[in-house]
Structure formats: C-alpha cells, structure tokens
Amino acid sequence: MQAILTSLDRRWRRSDAALAPSHWKICLFLTANIVLLSALLFDWPVGATIKNLSPPLHFFGKMLTNFGDSEWIIIISAFLFFEGWAGSRLLHSQRCRCKALRICQIGGYLLTTVVLSGLLANLLKRAIGRARPTHFADWGPFGFSPFNGRASFESFPSGHATTIGALFVALAFLFPRYRYIFAACALWLAITRVMVGAHYPSDVIAGLALGGWFSFMTAIVYSRYGLLFRINAAGWPTPKWQLFKGSKSGQANT
C-alpha cells in the first residue's frame, strides 16, 4: 500500500495537467445562472400544475425514473474494477493485461464519480432542506427546512439527477464520439423526476450540473495521476487511447 501511495504521489508531482484556462469558469457561471433562472421561471408553474399532469406522461416518467438509482451503477462499476484488476494480474499477454487495466480504471472512475457525487448530493439536500412539490400547497417552491430529517424536505438537488449527470458526463468523457447521445439520455432521464412529482425543474438541473461537474473534476484528478485521461491542448480531459490513436494517424499521414 505504501508503495502504491508513493507511486501516485510521484505521478501527481510530475504531472503538468491543468484545467482549461477560462472555459470552465464560463461554464460554471452559466450553470449557476441556469439553475437560478429555472427556479424563478419554471418551479412555480410546474409545482402548481404537477397534480394535473397527464397519466401517460406520468406513466412514462414512472417507467424510467428508477434508472437514476445508483445501486446498479455501483455494482457494475465495482464489477468492472475488480474484474479488470484481476485480469491485469492473471492474464499472460501484455496486450490483454493493458486492456484489463483500462477496464479496471474505467470501473474505478465510474465508481468514484457516482459514489462521491451521490454522497455530496445527499449531504447538500439534507442541509438545504427544500420542500418537495408534494408540499407545494403549504410551502410553495421556495419553502426550506434545513436538517429537517424527512425525505419530503430533501428536494434540492435531485439525487437521481446527480447520479444520471455523473454517469453520462463520465461516459461522454470516456467515449466523446457519443457525447450528444449521452447528453440527450441524461436530459430525458433526469426530467422524469419532474414527471413523477418528486422534484422541481431547478432540482433536476442542479443535480445534473453537480454530477456533471463532479465527473469533470474527477477526470482532471485522474489525469494528474496519469490514469485513464490526459489533458489535451485545449485543457480538457481526453481518454489516453484517443490521444494515442490521434498521434498514430498523424504519423501515418506524414
């Protein structure tokens, strides 16, 4: 264990990875304003009409909303991590061991992102204590009871949306070719929390943003340790195998 920690510390000290100089600040500023605007413009009308939502739309949301439960993601991520780790130790081919190690790191990245972002979301929602839409008649969309201890006062941010944001942003970093598909999936799945009356729109947007930003920061940390990601010329985390393919194709063209 001491040898592993020492190796990681050396990797961190050698790394020159850094955040994109200004892009992340702009994105963070826009994220905060989108959450605020959604709270001011959409939470009140949604809360007032949520009970009159059409049954087919409610059924659609009920059918998909459990996708945001973190348990199945944690189980699959842990399986990838331990299977990849075992393969990296037991396989004889160097190429197979490298692929197994990559799977191990992917599982570790997803596990770290989903678990830690979920814990942070749970701490925040308990501390903030926002009343859920079920209490709209009594509390309105801006009713707060910090550290209330009841699930009905744990609306902001949405834990399901946080898990969904963390998962799909992580997948978008790992497989950037499909990032638009992942973004669409994240939006549709997260909005089901509004369809079932569990959250206001701003809860969902805040959860997606929290999970997404956590995936981004975790990718930066991994890149500092030389694991799974490297920072590209624009300052964003990119899978190491993507950069390797790019360099190989460039050499072939020359």
Instruction: Specify if 110 maps to a domain.
Output: yes
Asked whether residue 112 is assigned to any structural domain, the reply reads: yes
Q: Which residues contact 10 (CB under 8 A, 6 or more apart)?
A: none
Q: What is the pLDDT of residue 214?
A: 94
Which has the closest alpha carbon to 132: 191, 197, 190?
197
Residue 97 domain boundaries: 21-239
Residue 16 falls within a domain, yes or no? no
In a domain, 154, yes or no: yes
Confidence at residue 233, expressed as pLDDT on a 0 to 100 scale? 75
- pLDDT, one tens digit for every residue, the chain (254 residues): 444 445 544 554 455 555 555 567 787 888 899 999 999 999 999 988 888 888 888 888 888 888 888 899 999 999 999 999 998 888 888 888 888 888 999 999 999 999 999 999 999 999 999 999 989 988 989 999 999 889 999 999 999 999 999 999 999 999 999 999 999 999 999 999 999 989 999 999 999 999 999 999 999 888 888 888 888 877 788 888 764 454 444 444 44
What is the per-residue pLDDT across 163-172, written as a single tens digit (0 to 9) for each?
A: 999 999 999 9
In 3D space, the residue among 81, 100, 80 whose CA is nearest the CA of residue 92 turns out to be 100
Count: domains in the chain = 1
Per-residue HEC secondary structure of the chain comes to: CHHHHHHHHHHHHHCCCCCCCCHHHHHHHHHHHHHHHHHHHCHHHHHHHHHHCCHHHHHHHHHHHHHHCHHHHHHHHHHHHHHHHHHHHHCCCHHHHHHHHHHHHHHHHHHHHHHHHHHHHHHHHHHHCECCHHHHHHHCCCCECCCCCCHHHCCCCCHHHHHHHHHHHHHHHHCHHHHHHHHHHHHHHHHHHHHCCCCCHHHHHHHHHHHHHHHHHHHHHHHHCCCCEEECCCCCEEEHHHHHHHHHHHHHHC
Q: What is the pLDDT of residues 41-61, one digit of tens each?
A: 999 999 888 888 888 888 888
pLDDT of residue 5: 42
14 is a domain residue: no
Dist. CA 86–CA 108, nearest whole Å: 13
94 burial type by CB count under 10 A (0-12 exposed, 13-18 middle, 19+ buried)? exposed
Q: Are the CB atoms for 224 and 12 separated by under 8 Å? A: yes
CA separation for the pair 201, 48 (Å, rounded): 13
Q: Is 9 domain-assigned?
A: no
CA dist 118 and 170 (Å) reads 14
**Is 253 within the bounds of a domain?**
no
pLDDT of residue 49: 87
